[in-house]
Amino acid sequence: MATANNGYYNIIGSMDGKPLTALAAVKFLGARASHVIAVGACAVHGGVSAAKPNPAGCVSVASVLQRKVIQLPGCPCHPDWFTGTLAHLLLYGDPELDRRNRPVMFYSQTIHDRCERRSFFDKGIFAKKLGDGACMFKLGCRGPITPIDCPIRKWNGHVNWPVGSSTPCIGCAQFGFPDQMEPFISYDVSKAEE
């Protein structure tokens, strides 16, 4: 959420004939809501919007509100993560959250733990280039540090996901994305041959 210049980098509408910023809306609504859910990397920790040099002063919703916020990081957030969290709130109350306020029903295991290419990692068989059918860890895959259920949930109508398309996980559901997850792909051949 943009905070520089009183949030005027992110105007979402108008109220009483004046521009309404996302910052003002979040402060107003967030103070009155029974629960707040930050959906996507930008809302959770600033995401792409807060990438260096961050001229708009983008920060997380939680840092603006200074209250408990259920965090659903991802760029983008999978619709199931949001609807599942909302359904849990409506039907059962607060979902179990990890130390970063992410619902454990989605964010409890790393991609690496459930990856369809995990057996290649365990055997030390690593891809040397995109398109190779082996583990992409040495190409820069962020699956070992990214807790999310992409390997079982998948995308595009539950059809595929990045690793299934021979692309390394770039850690889009990890705090600090994108700056702390770069470079997204490593072409250091010597590293791949180790």
For 194, residues 6+ apart whose C-beta sits below 8 A from its C-beta are 138
pTM, rounded to two decimals: 0.89
Mean pLDDT of 162-186: 90
pLDDT surpassing 70 at residue 61: yes
Which part of the chain is CATH 3.40.50.700?
1-108
- The pLDDT tens digits for 81-115 are 999 999 999 999 999 999 999 999 999 999 999 99
> How many secondary structure helices (H) and strands (E) does the chain include?
9, 4
Task: Specify whether the CB–CB gap between 168 and 140 falls below 8 A.
Answer: yes
CATH topology of domain 1-108: Rossmann fold (3.40.50)
Asked if the 109-194 domain carries CATH number 2.30.30.230, the reply is no
**Cα–Cα distance for residue pair 137/25, rounded to 1 Å:** 41
- The contacts of residue 84 (CB under 8 Å, 6+ apart) are 103, 105, 106
CA dist., res. 118 & res. 184, Å (int): 19
Cβ 62 vs Cβ 97: under 8 Å: no
The structure tokens 């995990």 sit at 118
Which residues contact residue 180 at a Cβ distance below 8 angstroms, ignoring those fewer than 6 apart? 171, 174
The percentage of the chain sitting over the pLDDT mark of 70, rounded to a whole number, equals 96
pLDDT of res. 186: 75
